[in-house]
């Protein structure tokens, strides 16, 4: 497999073929790969919401500048940060490490205190920005995996986050939406798939010291 060929094949899909759905296996693979993304401390301070319901998606579309990907993609994979990130999340994480790696919780006390200290010391806005960064890393991993698997994606920030939170009932779940990956299969008529990539030359992008 030539990874650069796959990455050139990927493009931000504007027109999905609404008649084509990903199989459950394909969707699960994307979610498993996303779950394997690295995050600061390993804390994964976000949740992932998979939206498939057509009625919900019609409402969401109106809050996303009517972008057709919202209704025509196979699913929307929405990344949302936990607005109540607290010591409880750290405790859950510590318990998960303890169980997974068969390590006593007490021996993780230093790590636990370091994480709790870091979270506490950050003003809310900075904390949420830090959480969002972790979600974007996972988004990147999702999109690369999709490209390798021949699945189309469109990363999307062009939506009213407050409105999405309301429509999806995320506020009650103490979540706040950040970014979406629309996933599915491209339409043969999407003209964007034929356009050459516009990117900096490597010597413009990279400073070698």
Ligand X SMILES: Cc1cc2nc3c(=O)[nH]c(=O)nc-3n(C[C@H](O)[C@H](O)[C@H](O)COP(=O)(O)O)c2cc1C
What is each CA distance from 108 to 28, 94, 95, 100, 140, in whole angstroms?
32, 7, 9, 13, 30
- CA quadruple 139, 140, 142, 146: dihedral positive or negative? positive
Choice from 58, 158, 166, 171 touching ligand X (CB under 6 A)? 158
**Least Å distance between CB 46 and ligand X?**
15
Closer CB to ligand X, 151 or 179, in the complex: 179
Residue 142, interface with ligand X (CB under 6 A)? no
Chain centroid to CA 167: how far? 19
Site string for ligand X, 8-47 (x = CB under 6 A): ---xx-x---------------------------------
Number of H helices, E strands in the chain: 9, 4
Residue 68, interface with ligand X (CB under 6 A)? no
**Least Å distance between CB 29 and ligand X?**
21
List residues bridging with 181 in a β-sheet. Answer: 77, 155
Residue 76, interface with ligand X (CB under 6 A)? no
Dist CA 178 CA 161 (whole Å): 7
Residues at the interface with ligand X (CB under 6 A): 11-12, 14, 67, 154-158, 179, 197
């Amino acid at each position: 497999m030539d990874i650069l060929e796959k990455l050139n094949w990927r493009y931000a899909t504007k027109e999905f073929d609404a008649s084509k759905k990903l199989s459950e296996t394909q969707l699960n693979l994307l979610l498993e790969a996303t779950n394997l993304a690295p995050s600061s401390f390993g804390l994964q301070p976000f949740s992932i919401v998979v939206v498939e319901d057509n009625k919900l998606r019609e409402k969401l579309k109106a809050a996303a500048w009517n972008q057709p990907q919202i209704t025509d993609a196979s699913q929307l994979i929405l990344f949302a940060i936990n607005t109540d990130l607290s010591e409880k999340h750290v405790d859950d994480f510590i318990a998960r490490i303890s169980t997974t790696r068969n390590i006593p919780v007490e021996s993780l006390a230093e790590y636990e205190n370091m994480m709790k200290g870091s979270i506490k010391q950050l003003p809310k806005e900075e904390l949420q920005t830090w959480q969002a960064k972790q979600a974007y890393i996972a988004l990147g991993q999702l999109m690369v995996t999709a490209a390798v698997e021949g699945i189309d994606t469109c990363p999307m920030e062009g939506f009213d986050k407050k409105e999405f939170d309301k429509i999806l009932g995320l506020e009650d779940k103490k979540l706040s939406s950040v970014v979406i990956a629309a996933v599915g299969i491209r339409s043969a008529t999407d003209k964007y798939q034929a356009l050459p990539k516009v990117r900096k030359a490597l010597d413009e992008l990279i400073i070698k010291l």
